[in-house]
Chains A and B, each alone.
Chain A
Amino acid sequence: MSVETAPVKHTLKDYKVDLHNDWCPGCGDFGILTSIQMAFAQLNLDPDKVAVFSGIGCSGKTSHYVNAYGFHTLHGRVLPSATGGRLANSAVTVVALGGDGDGYGIGAGYFVNAGRRNVDLTYLVHTNNVYGLTKGQAAPTLAKGLRTKSMPEANIQDGINPIAMAVAAGYTFIARGYALEPKYTAGIIAKAILHKGTALVDILQTCPTYNDLYTKEWYDGADLPQKRSRLYKLEDKGYDGVVKDPSDREEIIAKKAAAVMRSYEQDPIPTGIYYQVCLPTYEDGVNARIPALAAKPLADLDVFHRNVTPLLEAMR
């Protein structure tokens, strides 16, 4: 989206809040929080023109730690409330965020439908494979057969592939970041915010308290003989997921297929932009119906005491 920049140059500290943070020491959420603040600073966003909507869970608290309008909403429903917010005021940059349980489990229906709507907002998912705040049950991204130390039994449900799901649902920007690489992830988030349409950034995140499978050491590949990272950056392998000609259906299909293929790679796991296409947004559709919205956000339209006489006349 086109963003409202601050009148003066803002730095990282301008997006911080002096508030006690109760995440566990070493939580991946700290890295994601920093990534968000770095992205905002990179774009020099005006905090008064940003609304951060969050779901429920450890990740849901993120909105309290960002100096912007903050809405800590309901479990699984963050995309609908963020969508309503964005549609009501298109002059405000809207960032929605939540955990993988929030977005891909209880909120899975909204995840799919947000893709087909393509409202101009950014959605960040904290993917740590467990429900942290309820003490470590399996999240929908945890693969079958796995068992974290917090689980009494191994998982007998399979994990979903959020990248492939986003491709199928119609997301127009699909990327993956890593909580412990905040600078890189901030760059992706900044691109996601600038993207016109619904942007998903699935952010791999460690949960040092409950997830003893996907730890920092595991991502670092400390246990591997070659001691190499279990992550790689798509662009480093010459991958380009950006659709050059959005009117070219063949190109779109090819790029979507490539993104899905990459999303199934397990070792190493790709990070970066899997797919991006510039297509008309939901707002474009609405503006075609309501031309006044091209000039002003809905919240600024004077729609009080509308003249309903023509409707009443038709009822004579």
Chain B
Amino acid sequence: MIGGPQGSGINASAEVFAKACSRAGLRVYANIEYHSNIMGKHAFYRVRVGDEDVRSFKDNTDILVALDDETLTGDAHHRRWATHYGHLHEVSEGGGVIYDTETGYDHTAAVRKDLTFYPVPFMEVIKAALTEIGKGSQFRAYEVMKNVVALGASLALCDFPFDLVASVVQDQFKGKREEIGALNVRAARLAFDHVREHLDAKNFPYRLGPGPEPKARILAKGYEIIAIAKLRAGCAFQTYYPISPATDENVFLEKNQRAYDLMVVQCEDEISAINMAVGAAHMGVRAATATSGPGFALMVEGIGFASMTEAPGPIITMYQRGGPSTGLPTRQEQGDLQFVVHPAQGDFPHIVIAPGDLRECYQDTFSSFNWADRFQLPVVVLVDKKLAAIYTTIDKLELKYDAIDRGKRWDGVTPTGADEKGPNDGFAANGQGTPHDEYLRYALTDDGISPVSHPGQAGGRFWSTTDEHDPDGHITEGVAMRMAMMEKRMGKLARITAHIPADQQYALHGPAEAELTVVSWGSPKGTILDAQKILATEGKSINFLQCRLMKPFPAAAVEAILRKAKRLVLIEENYSGQLGALIAEHTGVRITERILKYDGRPVSEDEMVRALANVYAGGRAEPVVTLVR
């Protein structure tokens, strides 16, 4: 773990280390916690590595690197409401603490006597590296290089091959400022040597060697995988308004717009973003947007618009963060499920799917475009800050590519309104002898889906309206047609449940029958799986029902699993147990035991293990809080 003030480069330090580990064949799971602040407030980055799949983070760290005093001692002494009490208590038994001597910290006063402290004069190391190229006097301007000093010092402790890290650093500067890259490597090396020569690293108990077999894994963040799925699925139009934590995806796509012929439009607000995307979807391009809760709150009428006019899209990637209102802009919460499932006035169909890991982020984002085309409605991919920001290894092969399905497009020839006594009869009578007589955009069909045309298509002219309308897209308040159209639209939901593969709707992880069934959704998935594995070694029989398709909700299948379970416990990172409410709404099953977390921090593997072990032993499920003195 590395901690320091925002803007001090802890991200670079952690990510270079993560990448070097990935290249060495290790599995990596890294995540960052930070304030809604540009510069100065405390942030920390955890990097966990292992030979086997790591899907969560732990409370403890073997090495702590502190760029500032607050990383060591917390903010309770200068802030009324502490966000943390320093990370010293999180260091493993006998672990190491590297800190910058400029912090003035006196480690001899530390309460924990099992730790080894490694004071490193960060700025002196930087000065030494600069002196070698005749720039020693300018060292204050190179303060940002503290991140590579931190890196070099850590490597010396855990005995990780220095060259692997050096190559990652060099890659970062490849082609642009290679001499800066060399300078960074040199500073890291000097830090490495400093620890080796001046401090006792030999007896440090935690060692880190390369993995069993170096594999060509990729190391990615959730927002990158989602963006790549959008590119792969043929998204041509992405709109956005800046908002944490969705901005990363939007900026990633902006950076790649030239290479991939993608139009990215920065809008004046999220209302504009959703409406532009709906307009583009009606034109036949695959359109998308990305936002967070506050932005989604502005988009809701646009979602109703898209659904009512049966637009083939857009796809909305919705990155939850701590709410309500502006809430905790950079923190984790799963507090928007109920909102996203019930976003706007009236009954209308849309799809909400909540992937639980990066592989599912890819699959669900890709599939969403096909569903939007096939069922002519908007799709929300519901993720969160944690999924957006986790930096983790994926086997390349896990990115399975789907086929493109553009749904039922009008062929430009076959009449849709020619049935003489059918429900469409009389709606195409504009009496002008144009091909338009033959085509009805909202034709009532046997399969509930009307063939779609787009502006520019010859003979495919149609009208559309957010008012109730007839097959020709003109306004009607007629009773029978209102019912027919409501049934046409809402009938899509059952068709969607029948269309989407069951294993993309929900999954039961672990044994088919167990003493305890955990019910959860979204990003806690990895943590639950890791905890389940640990508890299984202790002989605890636990399985895990992961709900993924939230609308339409696979009620029958989920209910069958719930009714069979011996004992149920709900796990969610929100206050009210929103999946629990959704399950009760659709199945009548109320899950009374609930492990909830709403302090804005994701649940760790240790917290999960403790909470589940407690419930398993017959204890009451309690909210989990991450704030330990």
B238-296 with Cβ < 8 A to chain A: 239, 256-263, 265, 267-269, 271-273, 275-287
- What total count of A-B pairs have CB within 8 Å? 207
Cα separation A19 to B473 with both chains bound (whole Å) = 12
Known pairs A81-B278, A305-B404, A315-B219; A70 contacts B473 (CB<8 A): yes
The reply to whether A85 and B463 contact each other, CB–CB distance below 8 Å, is no
Does A190 sit within 8 A of B, measured CB to CB? no
Cα separation A73 to B274 with both chains bound (whole Å) = 12
Does A88 sit within 8 A of B, measured CB to CB? yes
Does B333 sit within 8 A of A, measured CB to CB? no
Cα separation A80 to B42 with both chains bound (whole Å) = 39
Our pick among B267, B285, B401 for the contact of A299 (Cβ within 8 Å) is: B285
Beyond the given A298-B285, A303-B236, please list 20 additional residue pairs across the A-B interface where CB-CB is below 8 A.
Answer: A14-B432, A18-B430, A48-B455, A48-B456, A64-B474, A69-B461, A69-B462, A70-B463, A71-B279, A72-B463, A74-B301, A77-B271, A81-B276, A81-B278, A84-B237, A84-B283, A85-B279, A89-B455, A311-B231, A316-B219
Cα separation A201 to B237 with both chains bound (whole Å) = 28
Cα separation A28 to B374 with both chains bound (whole Å) = 41
Cα separation A51 to B475 with both chains bound (whole Å) = 18
- Contact flags (1/0) for B422-441 with A, using CB distance below 8 Å? 00000001111000100000
Nearest 3 pairs of A and B residues by beta carbon: A84-B279, A84-B276, A80-B275
Q: Of all chain A residues, which has the CB nearest B305?
A: A74
Residues of chain B within 8 A (CB-CB) of A286 are 263
The reply to whether B461 and A67 contact each other, CB–CB distance below 8 Å, is yes
Cα separation A311 to B493 with both chains bound (whole Å) = 35
Q: Of all chain A residues, which has the CB nearest B235?
A: A303
Residues of chain A within 8 A (CB-CB) of B285 are 88-89, 298-299
Does A38 sit within 8 A of B, measured CB to CB? no
Does B399 sit within 8 A of A, measured CB to CB? yes
Cα separation A304 to B286 with both chains bound (whole Å) = 10
Q: Of all chain B residues, which has the CB nearest A4?
A: B456
Cα separation A69 to B461 with both chains bound (whole Å) = 5
Cα separation A239 to B275 with both chains bound (whole Å) = 38
Q: Of all chain B residues, which has the CB nearest A53?
A: B279
Known pairs A289-B257, A298-B285; A304 contacts B276 (CB<8 A): no
The reply to whether A91 and B237 contact each other, CB–CB distance below 8 Å, is no
Cα separation A195 to B143 with both chains bound (whole Å) = 54
Known pairs A84-B276, A312-B228; A92 contacts B455 (CB<8 A): yes
How far does the Cβ of A217 sit from chain B's closest Cβ, in whole Å? 32
Known pairs A84-B275, A85-B282, A306-B231; A70 contacts B462 (CB<8 A): yes
Residues of chain A within 8 A (CB-CB) of B436 are 67
Does A47 sit within 8 A of B, measured CB to CB? yes
Residues of chain B within 8 A (CB-CB) of A73 are 275, 278-279, 305, 309, 466
Residues of chain A within 8 A (CB-CB) of B219 are 315-316
Cα separation A92 to B267 with both chains bound (whole Å) = 22
Cα separation A67 to B286 with both chains bound (whole Å) = 26
Residues of chain A within 8 A (CB-CB) of B265 are 84, 87
Q: Is the interface of B mostly helix, strand, loop or mixed?
A: mixed
Cα separation A86 to B467 with both chains bound (whole Å) = 23
The reply to whether B275 and A81 contact each other, CB–CB distance below 8 Å, is yes
Residues of chain B within 8 A (CB-CB) of A17 are 430
What are 28 inter-chain pairs, A to B, with CB distance below 8 A?
Answer: A48-B457, A51-B455, A56-B466, A63-B465, A69-B455, A71-B465, A73-B278, A74-B302, A77-B301, A81-B275, A84-B275, A84-B276, A84-B281, A85-B280, A85-B283, A85-B455, A88-B280, A88-B285, A89-B284, A92-B283, A113-B268, A286-B263, A297-B456, A299-B283, A299-B284, A305-B401, A312-B228, A316-B217
The reply to whether A312 and B279 contact each other, CB–CB distance below 8 Å, is no
The reply to whether B454 and A304 contact each other, CB–CB distance below 8 Å, is no
Cα separation A303 to B259 with both chains bound (whole Å) = 11
The reply to whether A316 and B287 contact each other, CB–CB distance below 8 Å, is no
The reply to whether B461 and A47 contact each other, CB–CB distance below 8 Å, is yes
Cα separation A305 to B234 with both chains bound (whole Å) = 6
The reply to whether A64 and B228 contact each other, CB–CB distance below 8 Å, is no
Our pick among A71, A80, A87, A312 for the contact of B282 (Cβ within 8 Å) is: A71
How far does the Cβ of B279 sit from chain A's closest Cβ, in whole Å? 3
The reply to whether B262 and A88 contact each other, CB–CB distance below 8 Å, is no
* Chain B CB within 10 A, most for which of A86, A88, A110: A88
Q: Of all chain B residues, which has the CB nearest A289?
A: B258
Cα separation A88 to B312 with both chains bound (whole Å) = 14
* Chain B CB within 10 A, most for which of A80, A89, A289: A80
